[in-house]
A and B are shown apart, each in its own frame.
Chain A
Amino acid sequence: MNTAMVEAQGVRKSFGSTEILKGITLKIDRGSVTCLIGPSGSGKTTFLRCINHLEKVDAGRLYVDQQLVGYAERNGKLYEMKERQTARSRRAAGMVFQRFNLFPHMTVLENIVEAPIRVLGRPRSEVTVEAQTLLDRVGLGNRGGAYPQELSGGQQQRVAIARALAMKPKLMLFDEPTSALDPELVGEVLDVMKSLAEAGMTMVVVTHELAFARQVADQVVFMDQGVVVESGPPAEVLGNPKHERTQAFLSKVL
């Protein structure tokens, strides 16, 4: 129980009158890699964004590192957090987006040091050294002075990973990190993610890369129409799916 990094209990989320998440209950262990798979519109990305409180949870409870996300519980009531508290709690999770979302007006190095300096208030010199180490780690040690526009998609995504890691998060969220990439660039990003997993980072990955899920994931979660249909080790969910919706999805993808 207390080893869970993320714990969702009946999480619900609606946009207008459409309910996107219809009660998600899920546990993600510390140091584990969880892959969320499923057809588009199944709510995978919305659930990921809820973990980081980029979307507000309407009902149910969502804990990250035993902290309730977006709310404070007092006297049997849930109080919505202030913007400032929310921003503080978001630091626990690093996030990588499908479209990279690097800051285009800053160089690669500036992108990475921005938040540690401005948000955490750490000294620039110290942060810059760390940023350089992170860039080396994602294989872009010599591109610190480049602007994102000058990099390939795969390189931009690796910078985005380094930028998230610079905040020293307890867990990393990946929202379809390779979906916007040319096929030949997918591998370099997955390699960085693999090495991150091997280093023991807790990761939640929304992905269509089933080979990656099979190889790296500790847990695969199949979602459809806002509910978790099936979850378990990749060998079970991907190799021997019990539910027919999972079987139908896998037969289309594979």
Chain B
Amino acid sequence: MQQQHSLPGTSQDAPEAPAPASGSIPVVPLRHPVRMALAIVLIVLALGGAWDIAVNQRYHWDVVISYLFAPQILTGAVLTIVLTVVSMSVGIALGTVLAIMRLSANPIVSTIARGYIWFFRGTPLLVQLIFWYNIAALYPVIAFGLPFGGPALALGSANVLITPLGAALLGLSLNEAAYMAEIIRGGIRSVDKGQYDAARALGMNGGLLMRRVILPQAMRVVLPPTGNQVISMLKGTSLVSVLAISDLLYSAQIIYSNNYQTIPLLIVASLWYLLMTTILSFFQTKLERRYGRGFETAPKAARRAKTRTAS
């Protein structure tokens, strides 16, 4: 696709560019017969597969279409988005704090961060979710107070405060923070030491240095794996169906447990997941371009030419 697209562009430039160098000798581009044949075989196979899926009655495409915009499915999709956005935001914020703690010169601070990461990465997310869901069994009352049994301000019963949705958000966020901490730590460490020297020599320190100089450069390294995390979080939220939260997957499950149309409803859910991940990937690309500014090795003119042929 891309190659075909770029051909008209190059043929336009051709009469001007190579003419002075190669004189009047015509250039015959190399043919690729095997590549061509392989492409045709693959296209035929893909079309065959698509046709088969389309005409196979047992997929029940009519059911898929009738449930695609069912209210339960739509509210489920919204809840999945809410879970993803909130858990990811908290995960990134807490992960940044943990990453900076992990890199701290204070051994106690860095050990605490290390311990957190060790624990939350080392236990299954499913177990963590069920744990938060059942927190009332361990701590029937939630209160703020001094340690070692000092005076405390009781906030209320854990059963009331930690709703299933609260447990899901807690579990997903705290787990995500551990992963994000490691990603952000890698990003911070990828920034050249000379950048710290330069910023300090200009009188910057602490938060200003991090916020203005180090973190924006770390973003470039942090973004691709974070995109991965967002997408796996989006799908990972389906784990909360064990807490009887009606996210996208659980809504589909409720419907097919009534009408036994298991496959069509799973297809409905998958189509929504696909749509959401596609939109997320689009934003990821945009963000990567934004934070890649100033790092491209190609000079400006060449970059502009590349985007022209690609579009």
Q: Scan residues 1-25 of chain B and give those whose CB is less than 8 A from a CB of chain A.
A: none
Most buried by A among B197, B202, B212, B297: B202
Q: Which residues of A contact B293 (CB under 8 A)?
A: 105, 147
A93 to B203, CA, bound (A): 9
Partner of B202 from A86, A105, A167 at Cβ < 8 Å: A167
* Residues on B with beta carbons closer than 8 Å to the beta carbon of A90: 200-203
Contact at A149–B295, with CB atoms within 8 Å?
A: yes
- Residues in A whose Cβ lies below 8 Å from that of B267: none
A72 on the interface (CB 8 Å rule)?
Answer: no
Q: Which residue of A lies closest to B206 (CB)?
A: A83
Main secondary structure of the interface of B (DSSP, over half): helix
Distance, CA A99 to CA B194, complexed state (A): 8
C-alpha gap A119/B204 in the complex (Å):
6
**Interface positions of A from 76 to 129, Cβ below 8 Å from B:** 83-84, 86-88, 90-91, 93-95, 97, 99, 101-107, 114-115, 118-120
Which of B197, B198, B295, B299 is the one whose CB lies under 8 Å from A105? B295
In contact, B198 and A103 (Cβ under 8 angstroms): yes
Chain B residues with CB below 8 A from A93, complex form: 201
Q: Is there an interface contact between A163 and B294, defined as CB atoms closer than 8 Å? A: no
Quick one: which of B201, B291, B297 contacts A95, CB cutoff 8 A?
Answer: B201
Q: Is the CB of A105 within 8 A of B206?
A: no
CB-defined contacts of A54 to chain B, threshold 8 Å: 197, 200-201
Check B204–A115 contact: CB distance below 8 A. yes
Known interface pairs A148-B294, A149-B296; A163-B202 also in contact (CB < 8 Å): yes
Expressed in whole angstroms, the minimum distance between the Cβ of B194 and any Cβ of chain A is: 4
Q: Is the CB of B205 within 8 A of A87?
A: yes
Contact A167 B203 (CB under 8 A): yes
Interface flags for A116-148 (1: CB within 8 Å of B; 0: not) read: 001110000000000000000000000000011
| 14 A-B residue pairings within 8 Å (CB atoms) | A52-B201, A84-B205, A87-B205, A88-B203, A97-B194, A101-B197, A105-B216, A105-B217, A105-B293, A105-B295, A118-B212, A147-B294, A148-B294, A149-B296
